[in-house]
Structure 1
Amino acid sequence: MHYFSQNFSYEHPWSHVVIGMWHKYPNQHCSHVLSVDVVDRSVDPNTGIIRTERILGCKQKAPIWIVKLFGGSEDAFVREISFVDPTTQTATITSVNLSLSQFATCNENIRYSPAPNGRTAFQQTAEIQARVGLWRSAADKLENWLVQRFEQNAQLGKLGFSDVLRNMWENKQQQLQA
């Protein structure tokens, strides 16, 4: 199993970041995310917590050896479940790959919470594991490739979401001041 984690903060208040979450895709940095479909959304009447389940459709360029060894296609799907708690001002997102999950899984966890000076803390972790039934050398190669791909996509996601937030909030502020 391989792990990935990163922490940083966005220069926007929590409420702006949470609204921006729903507008993250499409963006120019994450062109591999082709579709986002809301499967279910509900609000707990007692707590006010918003639960949303979405399916993300992606196009991933897999190395030839992975396609030959495991089959499949470049089309990939991810299940994402988020909880937005307006009382505690936390938003958590968990996601897992649906495609090729019989060979490898990627469990991702994200948390947004208020940070000092009107910023929002971002915490992201991922556990990537190839299935035991694979040859160990193939499993190691697959995990290494998946971690590298995840790290690349995480950096693109950070850039893309920063652009989305800037376009939604900073440009709006400039327009209001003009």
Structure 2
Amino acid sequence: MHFISTSFIYDHSWAHVVIGMWHKYPHPHCSHVKTIDTVDRSVDSKTGIIRTERIIGCKQKAPMWIVKLFGGSEDAFVREISFIDPSTQTASVTSVNLSLSQFATCLERIQYTPSSDGRTTFAQSAEIQTRMNMWRTAADKLENFMAERFKQNAHLGRAAFTDVLSTMWAVNKQQGALS
């Protein structure tokens, strides 16, 4: 099993970051993300917590040994569930791969919380685990591949989201200055 953990500070308020979450894709930095389908969205009338469930479709170039050993295709799907709590100013996002999950899973958790200086803290963790105990060599190679791919995509995702936030809120600042 691989564990990956990282954190980052966005130079934007928590409210700006949460609004920006819904505008991250499509983005040139994340050209592997092809579709975002919202399956369900609800608001708890007592707590005000917004729950959203989405399916994210990606195109991934898998190494030939993975395709030959496990089958599959370049098309991959991920289930994402997010909870936005305006009263506590927390946003949590959990995602897990649907494609090839009988062989391996990547469970990702993201938390956005306000920092004391008006910016937003991003905390991300991932657990990558194969389900092929009898093929340990192949399982180790698959976990290593998935961990490296996750790190690459996480880096691209942060760059894309930073760009989205800067673009969204720079435009709004300019419009406010023109008023």
Q: Structure 2 CA distance, aligned partners of 1:108 and 1:81?
A: 11
Q: Are 2:113 and 1:113 equivalent residues in the alignment? A: yes
Q: Which residue matches 2:49?
A: 49
After superposition, the C-alpha distances for 1:39-98 in whole angstroms (9 at most, x for unaligned) are: 000000000000000000000010011001100000000000000000100000000000
The offset of 1:171, in angstroms, is 2.5
Q: Report the AA paired with residue 152 of structure 1.
A: Q
Q: Which residue matches 2:6?
A: 6
Q: How many residues align?
A: 178
Q: Structure 2 CA distance, aligned partners of 1:78 and 1:41?
A: 17
Q: Structure 1 CA distance, aligned partners of 2:70 and 2:81?
A: 27
Q: Are 2:72 and 1:75 equivalent residues in the alignment? A: no
The offset of 1:134, in angstroms, is 4.7
Q: Which residue matches 1:64?
A: 64
Q: Structure 2 CA distance, aligned partners of 1:68 and 1:43?
A: 44
Q: Which residue matches 2:97?
A: 97
Tell me, which stretches of 5 or more residues in structure 2 are unaligned? none
After the TM superposition, which segments of 4 or more aligned residues of structure 1 sit over 6 Å from their partners? Answer: none
The offset of 1:133, in angstroms, is 4.0
Task: Indicate the percent of aligned positions where both proteins have the same amino acid.
Answer: 69
Q: Structure 2 CA distance, aligned partners of 1:103 and 1:171?
A: 45
Q: Report the AA paired with residue 172 of structure 1.
A: N
- Output the aligned Cα RMSD: 0.9
The offset of 1:132, in angstroms, is 3.1
**Greater CA drift, 133-142 or 8-17:** 133-142
Q: Structure 2 CA distance, aligned partners of 1:142 and 1:134?
A: 14
Q: Which residue matches 1:33?
A: 33
Q: TM-score, normalised by structure 1?
A: 0.98
Q: TM-score, normalised by structure 2?
A: 0.97
After superposition, the C-alpha distances for 1:96-133 in whole angstroms (9 at most, x for unaligned) are: 00000011000000000001221000000000001134
Q: Structure 2 CA distance, aligned partners of 1:7 and 1:133?
A: 32
Q: Structure 1 CA distance, aligned partners of 2:53 and 2:149?
A: 24
Q: Where does 1:155-170 land on structure 2 (aligned, <5 Å)?
A: 155-170=155-170
Q: Which residue matches 1:151?
A: 151
Q: Structure 2 CA distance, aligned partners of 1:79 and 1:98?
A: 7
Tell me, which stretches of 5 or more residues in structure 1 are unaligned? none
Q: Report the AA paired with residue 88 of structure 1.
A: T
The offset of 1:177, in angstroms, is 1.9
Q: Report the AA paired with residue 45 of structure 1.
A: S
The offset of 1:151, in angstroms, is 0.1
